[in-house]
Amino acid sequence: MPHATDNRPKALLAMGPGIADRLLADRHRTRLAEIARTDPYLVGHDLTDPTPEVAAALAEAEVLFTCWGATPLTAGVLAAAPRLRAVVHAAGSVKHHITDACWERGIAVTSAAGANALPVAEFTLATILFAGKRVLHTAHRYRDLRADHDWLAELDGAGNYRRTVGIVGASRIGRRVIELLRPFDLDVLLYDPYVDGPEAARLGVRLTSLDELCASSSVVSVHAPQLPETHHLIGAAQLSAMATGATLINTARGSLIDEEALLAELTTGRLQAVLDVTEPELPPAHSPLYTLPNVLLTPHVAGSLGDELHRMADQALDELERFAAGLPFADPVHSGSLSHSA
């Protein structure tokens, strides 16, 4: 039904091919059309060389509704969007497409990083608890033995009572993991140079150095951002400090771990690993990571997938609705925060 005085902002979807169909259910497209003046089925896949229809919508757009695969918003792209005032990103990090030109223009930015953090934290919680129960080891042993066995004797020392878990990085995801761990009888250590003692106390963790965390934890879970200073944050020294049988979990970025040093530990069987990300993102076909029995390797699936994408769409639409009502974003992204965040 047409609005008598239509003050809804004009919006354009901008994301990679096929993403909108996965991100938006029919209810999302209906709500999008209610909040903004837009064609909820028109998607700009390449804003550097748009179709005439997308170019016309871009020229009028006050808001871009983006997701994975969005075109980097360079000065050239922004020149074609003179009315643009905001970018609502229905995913996590905005570093791929939000450029300095956006901040110089004063464009407001928000993302659904909070919605995307939850499935990563849930994945991490599951792997922490499985690691404590030595599920990967036991499943492989059971498959090989196929016979009665004294599992209580073999798994003596396993379990999740009073086990120490180390969290590397109090990022949004790291904090959600800490929150999800609270109901369990676990001791949680944290390494994060931006967190002080009082804040660690509020989180319910013990702040420690990275080396002490690695040496003291049965499970080390990495949640730091990918920055120049975090490249190979977990190196040979940290890995060698980890106790025999300990598990390293990485759902952040592959570059945070020195993979050559990790492979040296994994091939001996001394450590276990759960790797949802690697460096490179797709390991070469001959990589031992595919076949080592002490490695659970997954193809970067800890984040939102399937129906979890709809959670990101819901949060992004909430933010678009705030913008349409003249309210500030509930979860804004600030340029200064990107220097130490994902």
Residues recognised as catalytic: 253, 281, 300
How many Cβ atoms from other residues are within 10 Å of residue 75's Cβ? Answer: 12
C-alpha angle 33-115-72 in degrees, rounded to nearest 5:
70
Tokens representing residue 128 in the block: 């922490």
Which amino acid type is present at position 74?
Answer: T
CA dihedral sign of residues 91, 97, 103, 107: negative
Which DSSP string do the residues of 137-205 spell out, in sequence order? HHHHHHHHH-S---HHHHTTT-SSSSEEEEEE--SHHHHHHHHHHTTSSEEEEEE-TT--HHHHHHHT-
Which amino acid type is present at position 264?
Answer: A
CB hemisphere CA count around 135 (13 angstroms): 10
Distances, alpha carbon 70 to alpha carbons 66, 74, 170, 307, in Å: 6, 12, 27, 20
Tokens representing residue 265 in the block: 């530990």
| Gap between the Cα atoms of 292 and 289, Å rounded | 6
Instruction: Give the start-end residues of each E strand in the chain.
Output: 11-14, 43-44, 63-66, 86-89, 108-111, 163-168, 186-191, 206-207, 219-222, 247-250, 272-275, 295-297
| Gap between the Cα atoms of 146 and 223, Å rounded | 37
Percent helix, strand, coil in the chain (nearest 5)?
40, 15, 45
CA dihedral sign of residues 37, 38, 44, 50: negative
Tokens representing residue 252 in the block: 């952040």
